[in-house]
Amino acid sequence: MKQHYDIVIIGGGMVGASLACALLPASETLDLNIAVIETHPLPDDESLSYQPSYDSRATALAYGSRTIYETMGVWDNLKQHLAPIKNIHVSDRGHFGVARLNAEQENVSALGYVVENHWLGRVLLNRLQQKDAARVDLLCPAEVTGIITGAEQMSVSVKQQDTEQSISCELVVMADGGRSELRKRMGISYSQSQYDQHAVIANVSPDKPHNSIAYERFTDTGPMALLPLEDEGGLHRCGLVWTVPDDQVEEVLALDDQAFLEQLHERFGYRAGNFIKVGERHSYPLKLVLAEEQVRQGLVVLGNAAHALHPIAGQGYNLALRGVVALADKLIQAKKQKTSLGDLSVLQGFYEQQKLDQQRTIDFSDQTMKLFSNRNPLLAIGRNIGLQALDICPPVRTLFARSAMGLGMPAPDLK
């Protein structure tokens, strides 16, 4: 542990580790020293190893996120264990509207990818332990006990084992998740809208291959998503996100496996085949959370600590990743210009650049969820006409697909 760093990243999860990886290409030439502080210990084995698990949680990566990870130099390893999304099927239960997106029609190899969280985390941390990553110190396990804002630099109190010491830096990046205690301690307030829904998540096995199809199914009680995963133990696997009203979540979680699959079929149908196995079930409340202050002098709030969305369309992590590379690019340019990385004008410029992307993505997720949850018959007719138009009109479909793939933002240089 050094006494001073240019950047201290609090949180070594997918967002924090991605930021460190994004800064790596420029770290040596710009003499950029980075600390990543994570409460969990590093994996025992530093080499890349994949431990398959039927119940692994997963994240949907848009095609644009692939481009980002290619720029970071981690895609070749990441692609060893992921499932491509080559088709997306959108439907409205009990109504005629259906829309289909196809990778070949959009001239891409895949519309997106589904990667298990533990594998993505392993690939990112492995990258930060390579010989050319000497400018990055992984402080794990360690805990941040306090942050003090100074006129020229930040002071971060770090506790490792039984030892506590203070390190200084130009910039603190808080990427410690949606339940960030530091965010509260720093007095950063946030707005919150409840959806009165829970997401029930589990992995399920259909009796036939998923053929790289992702399903988005809207129902009168909330949307359902079924994402393709790698096969495991001779079984086909799909990741299920099932939105249920708050007053029904305990009932759904209490169902035995057979009853759960029967109710899933009743809501989802049989387009993916017969479901023959379901794994562990988990749930979490759905709400829209937005930090009202994402930048301060010497401080940036990033990822779920800055914004949490409804999981509809799987845009949350992809939005966070676009923020990661936008911040990395802004910091690299500031370093080249010999400007302090904690300078408020630099950080405000980053936030202004990202604000439109955040608002657009949040509005799309929020309004789509509300539109398809509304039981008004006139709205149902209108939204299903919209789905049909999306299905049969190539220019509209391509515009929608490019937005869903995250191709509306310029690629960062990161050099």
CATH architecture for the domain at 4-42+52-192+287-404: 3-Layer(bba) Sandwich (3.50)
pLDDT, tens digit, 9 for 90 and up, residues 173-186: 999 988 788 888 89
Task: Find out whether 23 and 170 touch, Cβ atoms under 8 Å.
Answer: no
The two three-digit tokens of residue 105, written as one number: 């029609």
- Mean pLDDT value of segment 382-401: 56
Distance CA 123, CA 133 (A): 14
Whether pLDDT at 96 is above 60: no
In eight-state DSSP terms, residue 80 is: G
pLDDT, tens digit, 9 for 90 and up, residues 186-199: 999 998 888 889 99
Instruction: Provide the pLDDT confidence category of residue 397 given band limits of 50, 70 and 90.
Output: low
CA atoms within 13 A of residue 253's CA, in its CB half-sphere: 17
What is the model's pLDDT at position 210?
A: 97
What is the model's pLDDT at position 409?
A: 58
Residue 160, classed as helix, strand or coil, is strand
- Mean pLDDT value of segment 170-175: 97
What is the model's pLDDT at position 12?
A: 94
Task: Find out whether 354 and 410 touch, Cβ atoms under 8 Å.
Answer: no
Whether pLDDT at 396 is above 70: no
- The 3-class secondary structure across 348-395, one letter per residue, is HHHHHHHHHHHHHHHHHHHHHHHHHHCCCHHHHHHHHHHHHHHHHCHH
Whether pLDDT at 135 is above 60: yes
Q: Which residue has the higher pLDDT, 94 or 15?
A: 15
Task: Find out whether 302 and 20 touch, Cβ atoms under 8 Å.
Answer: no
Distance CA 341, CA 30 (A): 12
Whether pLDDT at 42 is above 90: no
- Mean pLDDT value of segment 242-271: 95
What is the model's pLDDT at position 114?
A: 96
| Virtual torsion, Cα 149, 37, 133, 66, nearest 10 deg | -100
Whether pLDDT at 36 is above 80: yes
What is the model's pLDDT at position 400?
A: 55
Whether pLDDT at 317 is above 90: yes
What is the model's pLDDT at position 183?
A: 86
Whether pLDDT at 371 is above 60: no
pLDDT, tens digit, 9 for 90 and up, residues 43-85: 766 667 788 889 999 999 999 899 999 999 999 999 999 999 9
- Mean pLDDT value of segment 368-377: 57
What is the model's pLDDT at position 404?
A: 61
Q: What's the mean pLDDT when you consider all of the chain?
A: 88
What is the model's pLDDT at position 107?
A: 84
